[in-house]
């Protein structure tokens, strides 16, 4: 077969190779797949001018691995996987995740990937280590606290607002201990390091709260990329299920979490559907408590509104939506930026 189909592997950058990308889209479409918007690079297998297979890479996540039906059974998917793994390693990504369909589980297990979670529509998340999730959960156990009611919150805090503080305060009051996770992905207006500092400062007055740095296993581009990409509903549902199943089956038991607290979501459809899935998938394992968002001057407080006020330099209105600990960072930071742009010396 190799004599009939000599294979040439080529790297295709999504933003630089429109002709190759068109062929990849056609191959994916013929296999019932779309081109996920977070993929930046493909490894493409060509035989002359014919595309025989592809594997996409989105940072440390491999997806859209497809082989032309004429070469199935000829080990091309394994060769594609090896090529895209080498590319990821060369770019500094050593802990790799892989999205595929459940029917391909055995094939990718033979190539060094282990299953983590599977959605109801048979999307499967795998990783290139048999101990990755277990190792993470063992590290969490060092933060396990005694109590009958152990709460959890996962927040992006982009930035940390009075609404976030209210949610944390209500949850901490209702629990013996609260485990608070800050989404680690640097895909937001504020970088992770800044968001983490704002959260830590904003909850420092609460004695029964542990602030955790997020991980690949909780609302990340690996477990829930729709949070960052706003993908269509079927894909989004699969990803939200995978993220919540990891939380239910691994993270919650590691910390003894009995309750997960969320704020009501009047704006973002993705988050609202995620919250609905949470009620369904955590039922019987973790109680989901939804707390109504607070308002100021008749407006619901949201991080998106704070970012809008920052962009339009409305510092006086912004002041009513964030705690002093957040404003202490935002005010000098953005006034200095504005001064620099206008050439004013402070």
CA–CA distance, 303 with 156 (Å, rounded to integer): 9
- Cα→Cα distances 104→77, 101, 121, 243, Å: 11, 6, 14, 20
Q: What is the reported pLDDT for 346?
A: 32
Average pLDDT over residues 87-116: 95
**100 pLDDT more than 50:** yes
Q: Of 55, 133, 42, which Cα lies nearest the Cα of 99?
A: 55
| Residue 97 pLDDT | 96
Cα separations (Å) of 130 from 53, 94, 164, 215, 288?
27, 14, 36, 17, 30
Those residues whose C-beta lies under 8 Å from the C-beta of residue 265, and which sit 6 or more positions away, are: 271, 272, 275
Q: Any residues with CB less than 8 A from the CB of 283 and at least 6 apart, and which?
A: none
Distances (CA, A) of 222 to 22, 87, 308: 25, 18, 28
Reported as a single tens digit per residue, the pLDDT across 13-47 is 999 988 899 999 999 999 888 888 889 999 999 99
> Which of the four pLDDT bands, split at 50, 70 and 90, describes residue 314?
confident
Whether 3 has a pLDDT exceeding 50, the answer reads: no
**pLDDT of 139 higher than 60:** yes
Q: pLDDT class for 333, splitting at 50, 70, 90?
A: low
pLDDT of residue 344: 37
pLDDT tens across 205-216, in order?
Answer: 999 999 999 999
Same fold, 8-130 and 135-339: no
pLDDT category of residue 226 using cuts at 50, 70 and 90: low
Pairs from 198-204 (Cβ < 8 Å, separation ≥ 24): 198/157, 198/159, 198/160, 198/325, 198/326, 198/329, 199/155, 199/157, 199/160, 199/164, 201/325, 201/326, 201/328, 202/160, 202/164, 202/165, 202/168, 202/323, 202/325, 202/326, 203/165, 203/168, 203/172, 204/325
Tokens in use for 24? 């990849």
Instruction: Answer with the residue of higher pLDDT: 345 or 123.
Output: 123
Point out the least confidently predicted range of 266-275, 280-289, 320-329.
Answer: 266-275
CATH number of this structure's domain 135-339 = 3.40.50.620
Tell whether the model's pLDDT for residue 70 goes beyond 50.
yes
**Residue-level pLDDT at 267:** 73
Region 195-199 average pLDDT: 96
Read off the pLDDT of each residue in 115-124 and give the average, rounded to a whole number: 91
User: Rounded to whole angstroms, how far apart are CA atoms 338 and 142?
Assistant: 44
d(CA 236, CA 229): 9
Separation between Cα atoms, residue 82 and residue 88, nearest integer Å: 10
Instruction: Encode pLDDT of 293-309 as tens digits.
Output: 898 877 789 898 999 88
Evaluate whether 246 touches 217 at the Cβ level (below 8 Å). yes
Domain spanning 8-130: CATH 3.40.630.30: yes
pTM exceeds 0.85 for this model: yes
- Ordered by start, the domain boundaries in the chain are 8-130, 135-339
pLDDT(88) > 90: yes
Average predicted confidence (pLDDT) for the chain = 89
Q: Determine the average pLDDT of the residues in 115-142.
A: 94
Highest mean pLDDT among 142-146, 181-185, 337-341: 142-146
Question: What are residue 100's DSSP bridge partners?
Answer: 124
């Amino acid at each position: 077969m190799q004599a009939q189909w000599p294979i040439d592997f080529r790297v295709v950058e999504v933003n630089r190779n429109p002709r190759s990308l068109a062929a990849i889209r056609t191959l994916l479409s013929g296999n019932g797949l779309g081109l996920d918007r977070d993929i930046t690079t493909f490894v493409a297998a060509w035989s002359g001018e014919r595309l025989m297979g592809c594997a996409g890479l989105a940072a440390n996540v491999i997806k859209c691995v497809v082989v032309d039906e004429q070469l199935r059974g000829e080990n091309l998917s394994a060769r594609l996987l090896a090529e895209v793994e080498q590319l990821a390693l060369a770019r500094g990504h050593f802990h790799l995740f892989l999205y595929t369909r459940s029917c391909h589980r055995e094939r990718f297990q033979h190539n060094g990937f282990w299953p983590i979670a599977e959605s109801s529509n048979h999307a499967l998340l795998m990783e290139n280590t048999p101990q990755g999730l277990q190792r993470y959960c063992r590290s969490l156990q060092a933060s396990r606290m005694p109590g009958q009611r152990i709460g959890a919150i996962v927040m992006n805090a982009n930035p940390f607002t009075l609404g976030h503080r209210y949610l944390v305060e209500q949850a901490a009051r209702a629990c013996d201990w609260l485990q608070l996770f800050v989404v680690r992905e640097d895909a937001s207006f504020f970088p992770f390091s800044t968001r983490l500092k704002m959260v830590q400062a904003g909850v420092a007055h609460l004695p029964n709260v542990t602030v955790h740095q997020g991980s690949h296993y909780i609302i990340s581009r690996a477990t829930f990329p729709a949070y960052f990409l706003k993908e269509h509903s079927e894909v989004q549902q699969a990803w939200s299920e995978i993220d919540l199943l990891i939380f239910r089956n691994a993270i919650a038991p590691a910390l003894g979490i009995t309750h997960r607290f969320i704020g009501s979501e009047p704006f973002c459809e993705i988050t609202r559907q995620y919250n609905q899935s949470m009620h369904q998938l955590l039922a019987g394992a973790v109680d989901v408590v939804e707390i109504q968002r607070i308002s100021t001057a008749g407006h619901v407080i949201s991080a998106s509104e704070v970012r809008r006020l920052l962009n339009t330099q409305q510092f006086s209105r912004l002041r009513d939506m964030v705690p002093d600990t957040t404003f202490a960072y935002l005010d000098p930071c953005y006034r200095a930026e504005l001064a620099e742009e206008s050439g004013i010396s402070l």
